[in-house]
Amino acid sequence: MSEKPNVLLISTDHWSASLLGCAGHSAIQTPTLDQFAANGTRFSNTYAECPVCIPARRTLMTGTTPKTHGDRVFQETMPMPDIPTMAGTFRDAGYQAYAVGKLHVYPQRDRIGFDDVILDEEGRQIYGVVDDYELFLGNVGYAGRYFEHGMSNNEYSYRPWFFPEETHPTNWAANQMCRVIKRKDPNRPAFWYLSFRHPHPPLLPVQDYLEMYRDMGIEIDMPYVGDWTDMDDPCFSLQVDFDRSSKFTKEQIRGARLAFYALCTQIDHQLRVVIGTLREEGLLDNTIICFTSDHGDMLGNHNIWAKRTFYENSANIPMLLMGVKGDKRVGHHREDKRLVGWQDVMPTLLDLAGIDIPDTVEGVSMVGDEKRDYFYGECDEGLRATRMIRDDRYKLIYYGVGNFSLLFDLEEDPNEMNNLADSSEHADVLKDLKGKLVTELYGEDLSWMKDGELVGLPNENYSPGPNRGLSSQRGAHWPPPPASNMQQIEWYSADEK
């Protein structure tokens, strides 16, 4: 029998750190994750190095920053870098390595070091691959029919799930992981990666979860909006964000949040089945478990939706860690406020498992003594490029186009309501964080510099164009659509006049 610990890494998509009962959220129901946090350590200052799917997952699986792995934008057809992956490192140490759910790598069937991947690609058949979830739907009589719901993967309209509950991608992923656990080789430890596609849109919760929130009389909180959003000349990137938000009514906002929370609670409940399977298989006490998300979702806060920004609801992500039974390095009922990110997951899990960390890894173990003075984040290039410096109290968000800075005191103002960038009392703080930012810049960001000073680039005006593809709407998948070089996502449409 194996004496080395098993490792279960659980990730979601679009889940903000604030969306947990244990984080003090007033509406969301996450009883499983709240208990899970009490069973270990909640790292409350966890940030996405790049808050968008593909770059974040490259960081997670290599323990490196976007500068090293090569993507801070969303490079759809960029293969993984030729460096050790988390799965490969566990496998080289004698572990079985299996993944279920969303990988978001290219080529899509690249196992990136896993022995096998039971894949959910969210319907991305443009590269000629039919994933295992769509194959499952075909096997149970729903071949190619998933997108008959009519909702977009990149919008916030919602409706209830319309097939039997066991066919929902959340339930399917949990069920598949339970089967993988049950098939574990008793003579070898296991590294399992369970990657849920939700609460990322399309917003399709099971009807029972919508009704649960209504039956409990839960008041869905509405977005908060800082005074700084009321500006005469926002930078280009914020013009894009504010334009998108202006299209929502209050009723649509409330409905989207309700559906989003329902998807989170559905994942929370399905995790109980996975934990129960570990317990009944006699594996729970010798399994390290980590729960996290690639990035969050603004959900209308500050008149912004989705990701690709460094405001808290987009960039601050959950990180819950539970060690094997009795492991005092992780402990229980702990909150750790050190600055950590997805680059730290790989070295942490390897450290806890007693496996040497590859020299290529840039992250640090979250259960070690090393702590950062600040955390750097970067997302996008060109017109929408934005950067972040976060120290133990303050956060600087910077947009190169428009040379726009925001400074927040997260100790006094956790919801980022007041921009202190023009405050004379905080001039030294702003100067210090900008100085740190300058040391991190590379590539085209260097064009923001002049004579050693951060000056940015002139602002540009955004005029919305048409949305002919309905935010990359997907359609009938039987027969499967042809392979193409079509762009996965059109992030925004600008008038070309």
Count: domains in the chain: 1
- Say if 497 falls within a structural domain: no
Q: In b/e form, how buried is each residue of 52-76, taking b as 16+ CB within 10 angstroms?
A: bbbbbbbbbbbbbbbbbbebbbbeb
- Say if 313 falls within a structural domain: yes
- Say if 448 falls within a structural domain: no
| pLDDT at position 497 | 52
**Which residues, other chains included, contact 276 with Cβ-Cβ below 8 Å and sequence gap of 6+?**
none
| pLDDT at position 207 | 98
| pLDDT at position 185 | 97
| pLDDT at position 491 | 66
| pLDDT at position 2 | 56
CATH number at residue 315: 3.40.720.10
- Say if 207 falls within a structural domain: yes
Q: Note the pLDDT tens digit of each residue in 192-224.
A: 999 999 999 999 999 999 999 999 999 999 999
Q: Encoding tokens for residue 131? A: 């994933």
- Say if 387 falls within a structural domain: no
SS3 10: strand
| pLDDT at position 49 | 98
- Of 454, 413, 368, residue with least CA distance to 228: 413
| pLDDT at position 1 | 45
Task: Name the residue range of residue 250's domain.
Answer: 6-373
Q: Note the pLDDT tens digit of each residue in 404-460.
A: 999 999 999 999 999 999 999 999 999 999 999 999 999 999 999 999 999 999 999
Ranges of residues in the chain with a pLDDT under 70 are 1-2, 491-492, 495-497
| pLDDT at position 298 | 98
Q: In b/e form, how buried is each residue of 160-181, taking b as 16+ CB within 10 angstroms?
A: bbebeeebbbbbbbbbbbbebb
Which pTM value belongs to this model?
0.97
- Say if 457 falls within a structural domain: no
Identify residue 436 by its one-letter amino acid code.
K
- Say if 68 falls within a structural domain: yes
- Say if 438 falls within a structural domain: no
